Amino acid sequence: MYGYGGGNPFDRGRRRDPNRIDYRRRPFLSLFRTRTDYSSLQRIGHNEKIIGEVLREGDNRSKVFLVTKFGNKWDESKMYSVDGSPEWAIKAMDNSIERLGGLYPDAWILHRIDKKTPIEESVRAMDAIRKEGKCKYIGLSEVSRRSLYSNLFG
């Protein structure tokens, strides 16, 4: 697995040096052949734009199992929150697809449990989006068995 994230989340793509993108493509293309995992949180989606651009070149998309996460949210004032609400799930997936240039992820993961939204509401919304064909698989991250059980069965 090659995670394509990190760096300053507030960069928002301000550095437009094409060599920087080419530099970042080299490890992507050489190390990243079967699976990637990244979050739309990173650089507020800038990495999704880079990944989408690279995956649309040639047959690169066919070589990758693409995984993205949602649930982390930054507002314009750079305030962080966790949001697993059905409304944010729909918006987050649509934002990711747009930044990826129309490509759909193979798997889509809720990054962490939103304590304000019941987990079953988050998963129900994710499953509805999966059934629309916007991803093949859904999953949960940073969720222990105990946490999942207590959220579902109280």
Here the tokens at position 140 are 């949960």
Report the interhelical angle of 119-131 vs 145-153 (nearest 10°): 100
Here the tokens at position 23 are 């530099």
Over residues 19-41, the pLDDT tens digits come to 445 544 544 544 443 334 444 44
Of 61, 114, 60, 58, the C-alpha closest to 88 is 114
Of 90, 151, 93, the C-alpha closest to 120 is 151
Which domains are assigned to the chain?
2-153 (3.20.20.100)
Over residues 61-102, the pLDDT tens digits come to 998 899 999 998 877 777 788 999 999 999 999 999 999 999
Strands of 56-104, DSSP E: 65-70, 72-74, 80-82
**C-beta separation of 115 from 82 below 8 A:** yes
Q: Is the pTM of this model over 0.75?
A: no
